[in-house]
Amino acid sequence: MTNVTLLNHQDAPVVFETAEAASGLIAIATLNAPKSLNALNYDMIQLLEPQLRKWAEDDTVAMVILKGAGEKAFCAGGDVVSLHKAMSTGEPANYIEDFFSLEYKLDYLIHCYEKPILLWGNGIVMGGGLGLMAGASHRVVTETSRIAMPELTIGLYPDVGGSYFLHKMPEQVGLFLGLTAASINAEDALFVNLADHYATADKYDAMLTAITDEKWGKTASLNHEKLTKILISIDNISGRVPKGNVKDNLEVIQKLAEFDSLQGKIDYIQGLDTEDKWLTRAQKSLAHGCPLSCALVERQLANSKEMTLAQCFKMELGMSVRCGEVGEFQEGVRALLIDKDGAPNWQFKSLSDIDEAVVDSFFTPRWDEQTHPLNSLTSS
């Protein structure tokens, strides 16, 4: 039996523990709001970032495991209900700026973390959850993993580093997923570079035992190798990965490159004559999604092609604060999560209603380099 020490308390928004290994300690952080599918809220972010920094400096800690409480989700996204409250009071900028600044600093820290971070991506991983997952060094998906960037349903866009990691996918796939909020599974996540390893959900305990039985080394690079070997061995006893959808539809998705205009790309997706259930769901999401979000996704990806990770997060912070001002984000959250009527009344009913200047306003710098809330992010 692994010797586990609780560092805070079992009802905390994020539970922190350490497990003794044959040599070294394994740090474990568990998002602890299973009733809300571990939606990432302000309190969680405020706890996680300093604790990860503490573990980074602690020579006895060999690696970190990041997971969610319960079986249903790692993290179903950011706590947009609290953001809606801020927007509806009429003075949204400060809370929204603070929330996204803290969230992006946390995401960036995970991307740049020297020690291995194993992210247990079981169940639902969406939006803000994907921001935590994307930068982890060892991302494990299971047969229950359901991953998506559903921001267009609430008038937002794929933030939390999407400007960076959507470019790591096969050509056009990032744009397609951003425009359609299409859900992907374990095989898809491995294929589009959002995951590194597969394990069935019932292998968590075996994986933890293998990790705690390991004699961890003194260098982060050696420990990265040791963890990779353990996860490959778990992968090998986990059986076949459930069949995905992206690979089979890659040819269809990559035809998006043949269309110069965003309207042309959207018309192409909507016009697909298909009985494929995954594609028809994607068509429905696009039809009901926010047209402004579609315009933002396209511009976001066009602008960020050559950007560093830090530049991507800085651009996204400006976009996200602007989303808090324009109104579509507030209306999207209202329709989906507050009134739950599923009938958002978008200001911009179609792409043709959106003036170019409106889209430009999301990319106009709000701060100079010195005053940018994310100026502590380096240029990596």
Q: Show me where the domains of the chain are located.
A: 4-361
Specify the amino acid at residue 274: T
The predicted pLDDT at position 89 comes to 80
The pLDDT assigned to 1 comes to: 55
Residue 379 confidence (pLDDT): 55
Q: Which portions of the chain are predicted below pLDDT 50?
A: none
Reduced to 3 states (helix: H, G, I; strand: E, B; else coil), residue 75 is strand
For the domain made up of 4-361, the CATH class stated in words is: alpha beta
Query: What integer pLDDT is reported at residue 172 of this predicted model?
Result: 98
3: nearest Cα among 202, 207, 209: 209
Order across the sheet with 146-148: list the strands.
Answer: 73-75, 124-126, 146-148
- pLDDT tens by residue, 111-167: 999 999 999 999 999 999 999 999 999 999 999 999 999 999 999 999 999 999 999
Contacts of 60 (CB under 8 A, 6+ apart): 24, 25
Which DSSP state fits 34?
A: G
CB 187 within 8 A of CB 143: no
Strand ordering across the sheet containing 117-121? 4-6, 14-20, 25-31, 61-68, 117-121, 138-141, 197-198
Q: Which helix (H) or strand (E) holds 109?
A: helix 93-112
Torsion of the alpha carbons at 367, 369, 375 and 379, rounded to the nearest 10: 130
In a 10 Å sphere around its CB, with 0-12 CB exposed, 13-18 middle and 19+ buried, how is residue 361 labelled? middle
pLDDT of residue 378: 79
Residues facing 146 on adjacent strands: 124
Task: Give me the amino acid identity at 332.
Answer: G
Q: In Å, what is the CA distance from 13 to each residue of 39, 105, 195, 338?
A: 10, 19, 25, 22
Q: Please report, to the nearest 10 degrees, the dihedral formed by the alpha carbons of residues 331, 283, 195, 10 taken in order.
A: 40
Tokens for 263?
């309207």
SS3 23: strand
pLDDT at 255: 98
Report CA-CA distances (Å) from 78 to 124, 126, 157, 158. Answer: 13, 8, 13, 12
In Å, the largest CA–CA distance within the chain is 62
**Integer Cα distance of 80 and 21 in angstroms:** 38
Phi, psi of 302 (to 5 degrees): -65, -40
pLDDT one-digit tens code per residue, 25-71: 999 999 999 999 999 999 999 999 999 999 999 999 999 999 999 99
Tokens at residue 39, please?
């939606």
Instruction: Give the C-alpha separation, 69 to 17, whole Å.
Output: 13
